[in-house]
Structure 1
């Protein structure tokens, strides 16, 4: 089986050229300090251009700029849009950071959101991503622990390790957020990446494999805190029908979750973040009551297309659902610092 480390490197190189176009769906108009957020993202765009201009076409260099770009986005949110720290949009930003940057590591500010966080996402995408990451780590341990001297037995167990990994990720999604459309939690993308687009692990054939192998015995922990079941292609629960939505208005969080000043780091870079006070005159926050001029809109979502050979996360008729959603627009552009590149080249 192709090494997942090699696979991630190939995907990273392929994605490097497009990192400069990455966006996050948080807008200044819902931020605690709209002006500061706009300034932060404008500076991000200028810094990103300076970083990528120095890469001279090097994909690894652009990838390094991309890692720092996401860190800049996180800082912009932490400084002036901290009231969106538990939102679906911020969860998606952190998920994109982990997906595109191999050096990304916990802890990440505000992530994952605590249970029942004010203004939190209807599905705790942070917990879902943690479960997926855990499944990847367990897969690596699983194939490393295969001590069989038989080539056939090694191949069979490696396939079982792969099927358990796919099942663990999907099971975590279905159990963590049973009401949410699987595609909105990244089920389709997970199937593509964990099966390497259906060419290494054939998820639709994993049922018979999982009948023969016990994922717990292969070193896989329960997929989620809600269940220890590793679902098979034919017995996944029904798809949820709700799209993602934020559970409160833009002013649900009334104070910076990590205090007015805090530090965090990635690789060798340390950041000190100073949060802006509330300056959004269009969304009022008082000590005794919360009033907002914003109204939520109704949206409809559908599950997306699954690659050939992949089943269940979007098998059969795609389900649709409606839910309340915060207004979503795109940031103007990315930011980057060259310090990350040297660390990335050593990975």
Structure 2
């Protein structure tokens, strides 16, 4: 389950601008960033074409959500065409998070929720991300900070106060809940580069939004403060354990793609994808070349030690696509009609966007 509330999608850029406009501070990146997303081109079915297509989308310098959304949509089309063998990878899944969160900012409330192609990745999908970004997205607080701030204001006796006043207890709850959620989802991944560095910089270490806190102070701040009672339904009970300078866990891994490779398009060589503003016809590139390139892949593990690579099943397709395949995938779980039946309505992604309710 991806969508939990209305579109609160991940408004990182807007949040950053609101919180740090007067400081002009460069915040750490998160998995929901839209600009200059990382993508490894060399492993794509058509690597040169993918890199050229990706870099041709010149939207990163524009402070316009519509332009950014269309640019990300074009990059998704690049990937679906030229990097179809990595649709379950960390790179592609991160691109979907950014696309959906950005488009949610320009879509009207009466427009249908987005259906995202190949999201989420099925269990044990070939070349899937070692960190389940769908599950991670669901395991992070949505509008908990705004609920906490409202309750604290009410407890102070100033529920209608519009001034930005410090809420260090809520800030510590937020950091602790994010840390617990990230750890519980991806135990081997360093939560810092995923999201936690951003939370610390924006809500703990800086004071441009009324924060006068530090992680060293959080244990005492939360000693008599119940995060769950103040709106943190997700990992609120764990927040006080994780809101501290010395982490309970010290995972240092970065995510990677696992479970082998895809050798043929899951949806067939040609299919249509319904985006939020258009219906796109996708034709997978270099299908024959990719099959030749990976013909020697064998074994039961992703790396057998002798250079061979496993070809695990792709799992079922989820997303808003209509298969018109001219060559059905050998790793697909069914024909186009079955793919349509497997559509998964990927509604608004939660991410950090819930924070905007409190801050924008």
- Residues 75-95 of structure 1 show CA distances to partners (whole Å, capped at 9, x for unaligned) of 211233122112122234345
- 2:118 is the alignment partner of 1:110: yes
Tell me, which stretches of 5 or more residues in structure 1 are unaligned? 53-58, 298-346
The 1-side partners of 2:150 and 2:118 are apart by 34
- Residues 172-203 of structure 1 show CA distances to partners (whole Å, capped at 9, x for unaligned) of 11111122223342321232234473554424
- 2:216 is the alignment partner of 1:240: no
- Aligned runs of 1:50-69 on 2, under 5 Å? 60-61=63-64, 63-69=65-71
- 2:269 is the alignment partner of 1:256: no
- Residues 124-153 of structure 1 show CA distances to partners (whole Å, capped at 9, x for unaligned) of 234324434xx2422223334556263589
| 1:212 positional shift | 1.7
**Which of 258, 263, 270 is the matching residue for 2:278?**
270
Tell me, which stretches of 5 or more residues in structure 2 are unaligned? 1-11, 27-32, 107-112, 306-359
Q: 1:99 to 1:11 in 2, by over 3 A?
A: farther
Structure 2 match to 1:26: 40
| 1:211 positional shift | 2.0
Residues 148 and 230 in structure 2, CA contact (< 8 A), matched pair in contact too: yes
Residues 270 and 282 in structure 2, CA contact (< 8 A), matched pair in contact too: yes
- 2:59 is the alignment partner of 1:41: no
Q: Greater shift after overlay, 230-239 or 194-203?
A: 194-203
**Which of 191, 214, 220 is the matching residue for 2:232?**
220
**Which of 162, 168, 175 is the matching residue for 1:159?**
168
The 2-side partners of 1:88 and 1:263 are apart by 21
What's the secondary structure of 1:30's corresponding residue?
coil
Q: 1:281 to 1:108 in 2, by over 3 A?
A: closer
Structure 1 match to 2:154: 148
What's the secondary structure of 1:217's corresponding residue?
helix
Residues 175 and 200 in structure 2, CA contact (< 8 A), matched pair in contact too: yes
| 1:239 positional shift | 1.0
Structure 2 match to 1:335: none
Residues 110 and 257 in structure 1, CA contact (< 8 A), matched pair in contact too: no
The 2-side partners of 1:217 and 1:265 are apart by 40
- 2:218 is the alignment partner of 1:206: yes
The 1-side partners of 2:224 and 2:84 are apart by 48
Residues 100 and 114 in structure 2, CA contact (< 8 A), matched pair in contact too: no
What's the secondary structure of 1:73's corresponding residue?
helix
Number of equivalences: 269
Structure 1 match to 2:84: 82
What's the secondary structure of 2:289's corresponding residue?
coil
| 1:233 positional shift | 0.9
What's the secondary structure of 2:275's corresponding residue?
strand
The 2-side partners of 1:197 and 1:296 are apart by 47
- Scaled by the length of structure 1, the TM-score of the pair is 0.60
| 1:215 positional shift | 1.9
Residues 175 and 243 in structure 2, CA contact (< 8 A), matched pair in contact too: no
What's the secondary structure of 1:212's corresponding residue?
coil
Structure 2 match to 1:180: 189
| 1:240 positional shift | 0.8
Structure 2 match to 1:128: 136
What's the secondary structure of 2:293's corresponding residue?
strand
What's the secondary structure of 1:261's corresponding residue?
strand
